Amino acid sequence: MNAQLFFPELVLCAGCLAAFVLTLTGPSARVPRLCALVVAALFAAACFWSLPLEGSLFAGAYRVDLFSQMVKCAMASGFVLILLFGADLKGVPGEVRPEYYLFLLTSLLGLTLLVSSVELLTLFIALELSSYSLYLLVPLRRGEGLRAQMEASVKYILFGVAASGIMLFGMSYVFGLTGTTYLDQAVPAMRALAGTPIGAAALLALLAGLLFKLAVFPFHFWAPDVYQGASNDTAAFVASLPKVAAVAVLLRLAAMAAPPEGLAAGHVQAALTGLSVASMFYGNLTALAQKDVKRMLGFSGIAHAGYLLLGVVALDAWGFASALYYATAYVFMMLAAFLGLCAVSPDGGNLTVDDLSGLHKRSPILAFVLAASMFALAGIPPFAGFMGKFMLLATAYKAGHGVLVAMAAVNTALAIWYYLQVVRRIYTVAPAEGAGPIAVDSGTRLAGICLVVLMIALGLAPETLVRLAASAVRMAM
Amino acid sequence: MDFLSMNAQGFPLLSILVFLPLAGALVTPLLPGDNLARWWALFVTLAVAALSLPLFSGFDATSALYQFGEHRPWIESFNIHYTLGVDGISLLLVMMTTLIMPLCVLGSWRYIEKRVPEFMICLLVMETSMLGVFLALDLVLFYVFWEAMLIPMYLLIAVWGGPRKTYASMKFFLYTLAGSVLLLVAIVALYVSQGTFSIPALMGQQYSLGFQVMVFLAFFLAFAIKVPMFPFHTWLPAAHVEAPTAGSVILASVLLKMGTYGFVRFCLPITPDAVVELLPYLQWLSVAGILYGGFTALAQQDMKKLIAYSSVGHMGFVTLGIFALNERGLEGAMLQMINHGVTTGALFLCVGMLYERTHTRDLNASAGLGRFMPIYVTYLAFFSLSSLAFPGTNSFVGEFLILAGAFFNNAWAAVAAVPGAILAAAYMLRLLQRVIWGGTDNPDQSKLSDLGWRETLTLAPLLAFVFWIGLAPEPFLRVMRPSIGHLLAQTGYQAPNALALADLFTR
């Protein structure tokens, strides 16, 4: 076994162990955070260092290639930024902070393992590792009223377990049909079968687990409640990193639905198209009515999952590359939005849209980062959200989904309304009485600047990332 | 790249023009003090204006090529390039933009008192995106500039606007964005059909009529909202009235032109058959805009609203000229775009200057200024005469050419548009009469100071252009003629020859 290939994961494992030891030594807030920051920085360094590496581990169940490493790099960068701006963890009770960092790290470990898994059971275990950690993270919240976070975590667990069950069911079908759990053998075998009813059923069941992670309609029920019920810092994590990991695995699995040359696309594609449209409309229309910002972002996340599926239904390398690009950009857009929420909220509580009134007077930098994230999520140039949406539209149109593209365009216009409401409050409404200036620590400031630069840089110079994504995706298909 | 004449010395003049304001905007937050921000913005916009002069002097007016070209790969995976170039159609619009921007800074010198650096940043970012729109020769690049303009303009209205700024800015943003998402779909459709985003490469290709109509309608919605053509104009009066002076000037002078520029640059050469198919509708919509704008302007008490509605009418003339689809009409339309920019921009500046003094834009409350503000009313008189197309002023030449062109394509539409000119005379003279000689029951007016040197200097260049274009339009028409000829050849539409009389006038 080539240990180099597993280096980023080893760093994380060591980090998890260290965090575990810290949970035994007592509740100090600073040390676990410092430990997590060091681990995150080392993990990021290891990911970028291992970007060009390639190879298989664990009897071929685990593959390290450009595809997996690229996603890991995106997740690692996102994780560093989360830790940077989440210094004071206002929403998490002091006594559980060591545990908080421990579960954050184990969840990240699960996600990291997930993107490299090319064997169905390994994939399942990795997915569950990340999910169970998140189930534990969601209720770790300073209790203003226990109901919301309890409801969130119960919903999350119940729906998560149901989705996992359906996914296992799909896996058993795939195994039954192909006789293997290894993706490199299962994918070509399933591609020939994807047109058959049993093949389609197997694939759809298999994809359900990931669609749950992505909060695609109708697997979305958990998302708004979890966003609302979890602390701001946890929600920042839940809303960003698992999404990109789920997209990565979704792309690996969706390759099964690509019909061989000369065959018509099957039911899976039609189903994904339907889910995409339903997600976009449901997400955007419901987001319009939300007052709680995190809940609004939860519903908008459902709509974004719909956009992402535009790239998946194309079922070709460019479509997948666009989806991967968009997912990467989405991580940073979401983090920028949550950075603002975490920093603005005085005690880690939830913010309504009205709470953001006059933010530009209270903290120009937070106002700028939040407004930039809203414009980016709305898909307005020069931010990355535009370029991502544009590529998704282009590839979907090229694949002959003209109507779907028109629907997505309509949805883009719909979404502007609620994103703009946030910007409007920030810049044009006077702050509430007694709302003084907000002190922004240097970590948040640095993370905010990094995120805005990243969003603009990814939007204006997407070439490197798109090429990387395209060659990575070819490797995965 | 046979359509692009590359920049000879390898000096990226166009890129510098486009990105210099942005660079200036990035420096602005570092400057201490509001006054420094004002002077810095003035310096940057003047530098851009100065840099645009070699563009005019170095432009080869005998060629229909895109000149000063720059071509670099941008997103190669999608065959997207960073291509800039200027031809006879975009040259004057670029020049006008660079001319207007320093005046906008000057016009906001005292008008804007809160958050000055941010205001100047918005102006500078606007300039980058507007110049980018006129110079981009790649559809994606064009779209990026086109949409990026929304953010600073939204903020200009929403932060520094009047009492109903929130409503106006949301309406502006949503209307224009709703139009342009379909534009994006059309861009994607063109890319899928030809495999390129290069604007010149997409022109003059063979597309089926059905495809052309679909693409045209998507283009049309985006551009018609921007122009704005009747009945897509409802965002305009609100935006104009609530925007600060500089915002109104930019809206009137440049942003509206982006719509008509889109018609000329994209619709005519890329979807000519669809244009010809829908020509009568387009012409009559233009006429409806002219008459509607005229009548509504006549009924306004608010000076800004009056000028805003007059814009709807004037832009109706521009679209009528474009859809005359002949040389005269297009020359007139292109010239009228510049004229409207100069004249209406100046009128908005005038209203802004008065508002700084009286804090009202009501016609009756501003009546009878002639005795107390002689310089001001002189300017106002000339710009009003220009707006109503008085012979000897710029708009006369433009409207004359447009009507001459329209007569030879759709004489009925041209005849129906003529009352628009009369209406313009009615509402502008009403404005003039009130402001200069109207009853002075407002005792405060004797205390009003006349224009200072800064304000006089702001309006002077615009007045110079009013007469320059009005008396000697040939240098302006000369640069656009080859490009217009080339454009008409690309549409393949055999338009009737224009009036001999018009030839007499322009030679």
Model confidence pLDDT, tens digit, residues B440-493: 566 567 777 888 888 888 899 999 999 999 898 888 888 888 888 888 888 877
Q: With an 8 Å Cβ cutoff, are A424 and B158 in contact?
A: yes
Residue B75 three-state SS:
strand
One DSSP character per residue, A351-409 reads: -BGGGGTTHHHH-HHHHHHHHHHHHHHHT-TTSHHHHHHHHHHHHHHHTT-HHHHHHHH
Pairing of the two strands B66-75 and B4-6:
parallel
* pLDDT number for residue B93: 92
How buried is B498 (Cβ within 10 angstroms: 0-12 exposed, 13-18 middle, 19+ buried)? Answer: buried
Residues of A in contact with B178 (CB under 8 A): 413
Tokens coding A59: 């009897």
What secondary structure, in 3-state letters, does A259-285 show?
CCCCCCCCHHHHHHHHHHHHHHHHHHH
Model confidence pLDDT, tens digit, residues A390-420: 999 988 888 888 888 888 988 988 888 889 8
Q: Give the span between the Cα atoms of B462 and B458, in whole angstroms.
A: 8
Distance from CA of A236 to the nearest CA of B (A): 26
For chain B, what is the largest distance between any 2 Cα atoms, rounded to a whole number of angstroms? 69
Q: Give the span between the Cα atoms of B153 and B409, in whole angstroms.
A: 37
Q: Give the span between the Cα atoms of A89 and B360, in whole angstroms.
A: 51
User: What backbone phi and psi angles, to 5 degrees, belong to A188?
Assistant: -60, -35
Give the amino acid at A287: A
Q: Specify the range with the lowest mean pLDDT, choosing from A248-262, A408-422, A442-456.
A: A248-262
Alpha helices in A138-259 (DSSP H): 146-178, 183-193, 197-214, 222-229, 232-254
Closest among B212, B57, B226, B50 to B153, alpha carbons compared: B226
Q: What is the pTM of this model?
A: 0.89
First and final C-alpha spacing in chain A: 24
Q: Provide the angle, in degrees to the nearest 10, between the axes of the packed helices A146-178 and A197-214.
A: 150
Residues of A in contact with B143 (CB under 8 A): 381, 390
Contacts with A325 (C-beta within 8 Å, 6 or more apart), sequence order: A387, A388, A391, A458, A462, A465, A466, A469
Q: With an 8 Å Cβ cutoff, are B159 and A381 in contact?
A: no
Residue A119 three-state SS:
strand
Residues of B in contact with A467 (CB under 8 A): 76-77
Query: From the CB of residue A179, how many other CB atoms can be counted at a distance below 10 Å?
Result: 10
Listed by number, the residues of chain A in 413-442 with a beta carbon closer than 8 Å to a beta carbon of chain B are 413, 416-417, 420, 423-424, 427-428
CA distances, B458 to each of A376, B102, B155, B344, B464 (Å)? 37, 8, 24, 14, 11
Q: With an 8 Å Cβ cutoff, are A424 and B178 in contact?
A: no
Distance from CA of A2 to the nearest CA of B (A): 34
Distance from CA of B93 to the nearest CA of A (A): 23
Tokens coding A296: 């609004």
Q: Give the span between the Cα atoms of B428 and B311, in whole angstroms.
A: 12
Closest among A272, A256, A258, A244 to A114, alpha carbons compared: A244
Q: Give the span between the Cα atoms of B401 and B392, in whole angstroms.
A: 14
- Nearest CB partner across the interface for A406, out of B174, B185, B192: B185
How buried is B358 (Cβ within 10 angstroms: 0-12 exposed, 13-18 middle, 19+ buried)? Answer: middle
- Nearest CB partner across the interface for A390, out of B151, B177, B184: B184
Please list the pLDDT of chain B residue by residue as tens digits (507 residues).
667 777 666 778 889 999 999 999 999 888 888 888 899 999 999 999 999 988 888 888 888 888 888 888 888 888 889 989 898 889 989 999 999 999 999 888 888 888 888 899 999 999 999 999 999 999 999 999 998 888 899 888 888 888 888 888 888 888 888 888 888 888 989 998 888 888 888 887 888 888 999 999 999 998 999 888 888 888 888 888 888 888 889 988 898 999 999 999 998 889 988 988 888 899 999 999 999 999 999 998 888 899 999 999 999 999 999 998 888 889 999 999 999 999 999 999 999 888 888 888 888 777 778 778 888 889 999 999 999 888 889 999 999 999 988 888 888 888 888 888 889 999 989 888 888 887 656 656 777 788 888 888 889 999 999 999 989 888 888 888 888 888 888 887 765 554 444 554 554
* pLDDT number for residue B286: 92
* pLDDT number for residue A349: 81
* Contact assessment for residue A430 and residue A357, using Cβ atoms and an 8 Å cutoff: yes
Q: Does A466 touch chain B (CB under 8 A)?
A: yes
CA distances, A62 to each of A58, A173, A471 (Å)? 6, 21, 19
Beta strands in B416-488 (DSSP E): none
Q: Give the span between the Cα atoms of A77 and A96, in whole angstroms.
A: 25
- HSE, CB side, 13 Å, CA atoms: give it for residue A41: 6
Q: What angle do CA B218, B219, B225 make, to 5 degrees?
A: 95
Q: With an 8 Å Cβ cutoff, are A381 and B148 in contact?
A: yes
H or E element: which one contains A471? helix A463-476
Per the prediction, chain A carries an average pLDDT of 87
Q: Give the span between the Cα atoms of B14 and B69, in whole angstroms.
A: 8
B4-6 sheet: strands from edge to edge: B4-6, B66-75, B80-86
Q: Does the structure show a pLDDT above 90 at A137?
A: no
Contacts with B485 (C-beta within 8 Å, 6 or more apart), sequence order: B64, B327
Give the amino acid at A454: L
Tokens coding B27: 């420096």
Q: What is the arithmetic mean of pLDDT over A285-291?
A: 89
* Minimal-distance CA residue of chain B relative to A410: B181
Q: With an 8 Å Cβ cutoff, are B177 and A416 in contact?
A: yes
Closest among B130, B123, B98 to B109, alpha carbons compared: B123
Residues of B in contact with A387 (CB under 8 A): 75
Q: Does B36 touch chain A (CB under 8 A)?
A: no
* Contact assessment for residue A295 and residue A151, using Cβ atoms and an 8 Å cutoff: no
Q: Tell me if the bond preceding A218 is cis, omega within 30° of 0.
A: yes
Question: How high is the ipTM of this complex?
Answer: 0.86
Q: Does B144 touch chain A (CB under 8 A)?
A: yes
Listed by number, the residues of chain B in 174-193 with a beta carbon closer than 8 Å to a beta carbon of chain A are 174, 177-178, 181-182, 184-185, 188-189, 191-192
Q: What angle do CA B307, B308, B310 make, to 5 degrees?
A: 60
Q: Give the span between the Cα atoms of A446 and A443, in whole angstroms.
A: 5
Distance from CA of A398 to the nearest CA of B (A): 6
Q: Does the structure show a pLDDT above 90 at A107?
A: yes
Contacts with A227 (C-beta within 8 Å, 6 or more apart), sequence order: A235, A238, A239, A294, A295, A297, A298, A301
* pLDDT number for residue B504: 45
Q: Give the span between the Cα atoms of B487 and B480, in whole angstroms.
A: 10
